[in-house]
Amino acid sequence: MIDEKFDAIVVGAGMAGNAAAYTMAKRGLKVLQLERGEYSGSKNVQGAILYADMMEKIIPDFREDAPLERHLIEQRFWMMTDNSHTGLQYRSDEFNEESPNRYTIIRAQFDKWFSSKVREAGALVVCETTVTELVQDAYGKVIGVKTDRGGGQIHADVVVLAEGVTGLLGTRAGLRKIPKPTEVALAVKEMHFLPQEVIEQRFNLKGNEGVVIEAVGTISKGMTGMGFIYSNRECISVGLGCLVSDFQASGVSPYQLLEKFKSHPSVAPLLEGSEVKEYAAHLIPEGGYNAIPQLYGDGWVVVGDAAQLNNAIHREGSNLAMTSGRIAAEAVFQVKSRKDPMTAQNLSLYKKMLDDSFIMKDLKKYKDMPKLLHIQSQNFFLTYPQLVNKAMENYLRVDGTPKKEKQKLTMKSFVSARSWAGLFGDAFRLARAWR
């Protein structure tokens, strides 16, 4: 049992929790961080791309000793059918800058490093400890936590809920609802190990350069979802995720989809001869702006995935998690500095600061996107990728058919799949949700 009272208790040591605990401890607050895993990162799953700008705002010189894999110089987007893909590719030497913008990382290593910084900043970090309950006073104010170690209650002025996507603690305490199956994706991921030089050869890389491939199409069988391939130093992360509601409706298992993705003729050669050493599955919040719950209350704030702060359209999550953790910590620090109580009214500062940040601006911008992609999933994730690939094949195959006839054939295949009104309708809805 810990007898002291803390300024803040942080539940969870993922990106959001570490950012919050680090920022508060660095500002001199007395912080206790509780993590159920054996160590920070042991339970956490990510592709994983680290966005340096957001990390720099927490630890400016993180590049000096953080475990980074490769900095990204190239992004490929693939629209796939079962035996082909049409790609869009951006590669730039500009990304070989002195302080690169995006890196691949391995979360188990990165979180462990981040946690060591939290400890150095002065927070008390206790792992292998699950918070089982939020302690509330007679007025419903959160005043502390109980853990599976027994020993009664631990008290703090404020509890920062950084417990990840399922957010069981907050939902059990009635602070928010359990995310709906239409609001979360289930992703599975494998780590394929290969010698460094083989990875560099296969992806056309040198030194620490890295590539990301993101893919949609028949690989998700018409479900809202995507596949990814990330190059690390000595391994390749390959994974795929779709909305839980779509998995429920289709009866397809994520593992079957991943096997199919890996055996695709465009993917298999990249993985050939590799040794799989890790397999992981995790949920991703994908409900966007409309799924964000109440973010603060008397004695508590919620950050990161637990607050559904995830930009699925741009595949950004960890940066929203660490930024919301940092902002929540700064808000707590301001309230504390004024010697004000941690009431909902005072903690609403966190929401105001979040509204002013890129997080809420981006999520608000795409607020109609998750619903649109879900309702039109057959079109966007099955029909259109097939049509685009067919059109490419038709365009490239030289078989004596006059070009005019080929064009007609392509147009005809689009119109027979969707009427002109349907095609324009989808384009219009997509443009409106994207604007």
The site for ligand FAD, by CB under 6 A, has a size of 40
**Bridge partners of residue 39, in order along the sequence:** none
**Bridge partners of residue 191, in order along the sequence:** 237, 278
**Integer Rg of the chain from CA:** 23
Q: Say whether residue 304 binds ligand FAD (CB under 6 A).
A: yes
Q: Is 15 helix (H, G, I), strand (E, B) or coil?
A: helix
Nearer to ligand FAD, 230 or 333 (CB): 230
Q: Which stretch binds ligand FAD (CB under 6 A): 64-72, 114-122, 314-322, 353-361?
A: 314-322
Q: Say whether residue 164 binds ligand FAD (CB under 6 A).
A: yes
Q: Say whether residue 312 binds ligand FAD (CB under 6 A).
A: no
* Minimum gap (Å) between residue 414 Cβ and ligand FAD: 33
* Minimum gap (Å) between residue 346 Cβ and ligand FAD: 23
Q: Say whether residue 210 binds ligand FAD (CB under 6 A).
A: no
Closest CA to 62 of 10, 100, 17, 106: 100
Q: Say whether residue 297 binds ligand FAD (CB under 6 A).
A: no
Q: Say whether residue 390 binds ligand FAD (CB under 6 A).
A: no
In the chain, the amino acid numbered 351 is: K
Closest CA to 214 of 225, 202, 228, 203: 228
Contact residue for ligand FAD among 8, 10, 13, 156 (CB under 6 A): 13
Question: Is the separation of the CB atoms in 142 and 249 below 8 Å?
Answer: no
Q: Say whether residue 48 binds ligand FAD (CB under 6 A).
A: yes
Q: Say whether residue 11 binds ligand FAD (CB under 6 A).
A: yes
Contact residue for ligand FAD among 25, 45, 154, 175 (CB under 6 A): 45
Contact residue for ligand FAD among 10, 123, 142, 162 (CB under 6 A): 162
* Minimum gap (Å) between residue 303 Cβ and ligand FAD: 7
Q: Say whether residue 134 binds ligand FAD (CB under 6 A).
A: no
Q: Which burial class, exposed, middle or buried, applies to 193 when counting CB atoms under 10 A from its CB (0-12, 13-18, 19+)?
A: middle
Q: Say whether residue 36 binds ligand FAD (CB under 6 A).
A: yes
C-alpha neighbours within 13 Å on the C-beta side of residue 176: 26
Give the strand pairing for 71-80 and 85-91. Answer: antiparallel
Q: Say whether residue 244 binds ligand FAD (CB under 6 A).
A: no
| DSSP secondary structure letter of residue 94 | G
* Minimum gap (Å) between residue 240 Cβ and ligand FAD: 9
**Bridge partners of residue 188, in order along the sequence:** 240, 281
Closest CA to 162 of 43, 74, 75: 43
Calculated CA dihedral for residues 6, 148, 283, 234, nearest 10 degrees: 80
Q: Which stretch binds ligand FAD (CB under 6 A): 23-31, 301-309, 376-384, 414-422?
A: 301-309
**Would you tell me which residues interact with ligand FAD (CB under 6 A)?**
11-17, 34-37, 43-49, 130-131, 162-164, 169, 187, 189, 239, 241, 282, 284, 304-306, 310, 315-319, 321
